[in-house]
Amino acid sequence: MLKYRCISKSAQETQALAGKIMSFLKPSDVVLLTGDLGAGKTTLVGGALSYLGYKDHVISPTFNILKCYFEVKPNVFHIDAYRLENQNIDIGLDEFIEGNGVTFVEWPKFIEPLIPSKHLEISIKRISDNERDIEIIDPTDSYKTVLENLEAK
């Protein structure tokens, strides 16, 4: 299991890290975002989208469960499973996960049966108002290039 760990000192730093990761991702890749409420999961997705040239403010899809960004290449699918809490997870999300876009999943534990074993996990822990302990975990050693490039920076 490959891992990379760093401290982010601002939301902008987290977004820059997201851009760097996004530069290596391809359609069908799945990125799990774990961490408490307000950790910075949605902020990180915003960084990945702005790397792809998306200009609008990225909001959490909490009330929609899924938000699709077809205007960027690769397409980005942003899932926030918080409201699902394991109930009724059979709502067609599987058509997007590992489909024709990069999928980011907030609160993946609530849709665990839908998560493929090949994925990248980004775990964000709050240290202080502006500091976050960020760990990038590649459980199946499928994202060696991503991890190596983060190490090399």
Ligand X SMILES: Nc1ncnc2c1ncn2[C@@H]1O[C@H](COP(=O)(O)OP(=O)(O)OP(=O)(O)O)[C@@H](O)[C@H]1O
CB of 144 to ligand X, least distance (A): 25
DSSP string, 66-89: EEEETTSSS-EEEEE-TTTTTTT-
Contact window for Mg ion (CB under 5 A) among 49-57, 58-66, 114-122, 136-144: 58-66
The mark string for 33-52 relative to Mg ion (x by CB under 5 A, - otherwise) is --------xx----------
CB of 26 to ligand X, least distance (A): 24
CB contact at 8 A, 34 and 110 = no
CB of 83 to ligand X, least distance (A): 11
Q: Which of 32, 38, 56, 5 is CA-nearest to residue 119?
A: 32
Region for residue 23 given its phi and psi (left: phi exceeds 0; alpha: psi -120 to 50; beta: otherwise): alpha
For Mg ion, which is the closer residue by CB, 22 or 147?
A: 22
- Residue 75 binds Mg ion (CB under 5 A): no
